[in-house]
Structure 1
Amino acid sequence: MRRWSHSLFVRFSAAFLLVGLLPLIALSVFSLRTFTTHVERNTVNNLDQMVYYMGSNLDNLYSKYNEVTKLMYLRTTDGSNLGAGNSVSVSVNEHERINQMSIDDFLTTVMYSDSYIRNVFFVRASDGKLYSQNRDNKALLPNRLPLTGWLGPVKDNPRQLALFPTHDESYYAGSARKVMTVGRNLIDTSGTDLSVPKVVGTLFFDVDASVFDDLFHELNLGPKDELYVVDGSGFVFYSNRGDSGKQIADGADSRADMLTFSQDIPFLNGKVIVRASKGDLYERLTSTRTAVLIAIGICSAVLIGMGVWFSRRLSSPIRSVIRMMARVESGNLDVQPLPGGLDEVGRLSHGFNRMVERLRTFIEEAYVAEIKQKQTELNALKSQIRPHYLYNTLEVIRMNAVASDADEVGDMILSLSKQLKYVIDYGEDLVSLRRELDHLRNYFDIIKVRYENRVGLECETDDAVDPEWLIPKLSLQPIVENAVQHGILPNGGKGTVRLTVRKAEERVVLTVSDDGVGLSPAALEKLESRLNEPSPVSRSIGMKNVHERIRTMYGPEYGLSIGSRPSLGTSVRMILPIREGSG
């Protein structure tokens, strides 16, 4: 603690954190208060605006279903009015028709005029006959149908639309749906005295209560929030609390724990009322406030971390210089150079590195001459075994053989010299097809002499093949050698190795075939498995090396494939991509 209290870096870090944290905390508290007030105001305004739109949409909704009920009063297709003469009463009572169509067809038309209409009913006034249609083909339970309750309001106000609150669709077997019912009388207007309406029948249809859910889903009401659609008397037509059909005392009353919003619905002469729980509403703000506080905490932690990192970043190079100086003082000059930079600490490190380097140079000067002399001797020893020494020696032997009229021996030595030069020439992974074929011919010159011209080589190259295309170096010789050793020699030692070079689309295909003993299916399968197994093998090393080199250089779609038939011979096909090369 005493050492830390005297440390310049600790004092600097403390000042850095103090200057950084105080403004951050003050700004964060001010921003949080401003943010909370702004969010609360915007939330209230948004809810008020959304309730306004809900009221307008509800008014349009009721107006739309009012227009649907007026389909009974449309003109006929020939332009005549359905109310003229006795057409309405006669059509309904005698012909069971509305709008020149059967009552059932008319009910179907009404039902499919809106996707939320589920059931349609028509009660004929003359005899009380009930006509019905529904979307789900469910069984109607007539004894449960509340016709008495529905006909009462339309009888009291025969010219007005009747709306019934959401209720259970209990008059259909197995239904648990909530629906709202709309009703209107069909009045015969053909008489002269219109003061007393002549009711021909009454139309009712059920609207799925999900129409309200779709309207109100944007409000995102919580479990404590309340929503009511009421008329002017406070009679509830729809509620998310299950209060439909009841009457609330005061639809716009205020509660301390709720925010109340309302909007008039002119069609109902009522309003839509939304009561939002302050606790749930501010709970969302609390979560946002918590997120902001967490962000402030993270920023403070990052600032503290940056202060500690900055202090260590500044002090670490100086401490490294101090440690290295202690090692140099003890006589150990084998130290790693310190990283340098353009600042003052970097210049200090650079000066220390130069000092250590000069000390090391002065100490090692006494050994430089001896080291150089040993290096010269080593280079002289290496030069004696360089490849050109071997080439020159083989050339001398060949000339002596020629001088002694041993031309065949001279040709073999020349071929061997060319092969050695081709093999020892390091630094080449790819060579031209021409050079690889020349090397193969040099190799076969020795083979023919060795086996008394009983083994032959035939090369055939398509005109479409460019001799300057590049192929892997020393890729053909191991395959040809296998053809001679394992194909022709076991077959009596006489045969021919054929090499064909073809172009196939963007690939070059080289095929080495022999007319030797061939392979049995089991031996062929074993050879192919050895080529493709990942572990090294003790046999077929040359072909496996060529196969692995090709796959490594070009990819798994290239490489060797083998085909063979007993007593007919073996062919090895090498597939390579075309690679252009220069002479």
Structure 2
Amino acid sequence: MIKSRLKKISNMSLFYKILVTFLCIMTPLFALSLLVNELGKSEVKRQISNSISMNTHYYFKSLEEELERIILAQQQFINDEDLIQLSFETPVLTEYQRTRAINQLVKRLHVLKDSSGYIQDVSLYIKAIDSTLMTSNRSTGDLSPAQEAEEIVEATRLSGSPMTWWKDRLYLNLHLSPLRALAATGQQAHFVQNIELSTDALRKALAAFPQEGAAILVNAHWQIHNDRYTAQLQPMLEQLAPYIAQEDHFTRPVKIGSDTYLAVYEKSYFLDTALLFYFPENIIVGQLKNYGLWSWLLIGCSLVIVILFSYGIYLLIHRPMQLLVKRFRSVEEGNLQIAAPLQRGDEFGYLFNRFDRTVQRLSQLIDELYVQKIRLQQSELKQLQMQIAPHFLYNSFFTLQHLIRNDENEAAQRVARNLGDYFRYITRNGQEEVSLGEEFKHVCAYVEIQKMRFANRIEVEADVLPLSLQALPVPRLILQPVVENAFEHGLDHVVAEGKLSLRFELRKDQLAFIVEENGTGMDQIELAGLVRKLTLGEEMETTGLINIHRRLKLRYGERGGIEVSRSVLGGLRVELFIPIEGENDDVSSADHR
């Protein structure tokens, strides 16, 4: 699998190899950049969360300390001399003393109210004078001062918290423990001091929280919030309920709908109140996401730069290389036409210039070699004609003389006719190629003459040439010399029962002309030498089978030629191959004459 993939990569074009190389180099850098960005984002998120938790804790601690200070001031107010006189000595006080004491108490109430921005109003109900002193001019409504004081006291006692919600007002009351003790004994308090906290001031303080989040003071009986993300408050409390029951403070994300919120919770046992602060998490990570987007943008720009650089390499190197490869392939296919010159002054210009010169020179050499081959073929054909004619002519005349002497006129007439056809065929110089039908007819004329010469010593079996191959163009005089070789070197010394077989076989895209005889003209050593000469193309005399083999190689290349082997008849087997197009099946002709 790995080898196949590596092979595919090695077969890729240069442009894609450069692109893949750059991507392989840049991908780890991109991955490291994203990892560093994610780690940085996580660390910044953690630091911001810690900072928000600390700010929340600081605010809540400050609020708690402020309320503790107010309660401490309230405790000090209990021991005020004027308050004690009005509570326990009113019957013995003169009008002046009582008025002065009331004025002093009102002044101290104003001082207490002005000491903190969280105080809305300070009221003091004194049972002895059945009156409520306060820093504001608000009315008690339908309730008497005593009834209002009693209801506030009862609400404080029932809530069990120093911060009591009564009629849409929030009170801070120190008298929780004394009120419980008095209620247990059935006694009533001599005075009741109530400090009304400003809900508006608390909301403003909650609104000043960072990140524009929702801040809520939560008690079992009341809630004060800064009117942010109010729709998420109830789902938030429901999801945080298990954690609120177990922990005093925590910071955790909460999923509400499709948004994630970061919730910070802290509880004060002194005030019996908790502070819940939450805000959308993307407020924190929003800027970090922008950094992430910038990182992706940087990666995208880097990829574009890599692609542009690779494309530049493609234009400068790969495309000229493709053009050069295209010209090489064109030359491989035999097209030696020189393309338009490439006007470049760099190394590729030099390569193209030298390549064109090489192709031009190669074309000239091929033309010269082709002309030489044509001339060589013509020369060899003429030489073959000169070689064939003399000795065969002598033998034919002796045969004809013998027939005439024995008054075998009809046989002599056939020999004369075949001899005329034979010499007319080999002496015409106008054509270098003839049809296979004409060439085989010439072979048949030659065989008829030789049969007369050898009388009844040789039996000849010859296939009928298929009609589909009659018009096949072949070089002239390529079949007859092979048959002549069988007569002259194989059957020449046969006294009786000589056999000669001439067959045609179609083998895929080749036609094989097979000549076999049972003569004893060539031993095994001579056969091996002939095979070596035909296979290796050694320098040799250009006669007989060697001559035909060279002519076929010149004409057809590697697809043509001659192969020799030992025949099943005992003599030599010669196979002559001629390329043929359009035949795919092996066919062996079995028609004999």
With the length of structure 2 as denominator, give the TM-score of the two structures.
0.36
**Greater share of helix:** 2
- For the pair shown, the structure with the greater C-alpha radius of gyration is 2
